[in-house]
Amino acid sequence: MAAIPYPTSTTVYDSLVAAKPASGKALFVIEKTFDLDAIMVANGAGTGKILTTDIVNLFTLPANLMILSAGIKSTVVQVGGTGTCTLKLRYGTTDLTAACDISAAAVAIGGATTTALPASTGAAAVLCNVVAVITGGTVTKNPTIRVTLVCVDMS
- 83/154 Cα distance (integer angstroms): 41
Mean pLDDT computed over every residue of the chain: 79
Collapsing DSSP states into helix, strand and coil, what is residue 25?
coil
- What domain range includes position 129? 26-153
68 found inside a domain: yes
56 found inside a domain: yes
pLDDT at 147 over 90: yes
What does the pLDDT average to over 26-55? 81
pLDDT band per the 50, 70, 90 thresholds, residue 151 = very high
61 found inside a domain: yes
Sequence-distant (6+) residues with CB within 8 A of 101 are 74, 84, 85, 86, 108
19 found inside a domain: no
Q: Output the DSSP codes for 29-72.
A: EEEEEEEHHHHHHHTT-TT----TT-EEEEEEEPTTEEEEEEEE
pLDDT band per the 50, 70, 90 thresholds, residue 15 = very low
18 found inside a domain: no
Which run of H or of E encompasses 101? strand 100-101
Please report, for residues 3, 25, 46, 109, the alpha-carbon distance to residue 96 in angstroms, rounded to integers and kept in the order given. Answer: 51, 23, 29, 8
**In CATH, what number is assigned to the domain containing residue 80?**
2.60.120
Which pTM value belongs to this model?
A: 0.77
Tens-digit pLDDT profile for residues 106-136 = 888 876 655 667 888 889 999 999 998 888 7
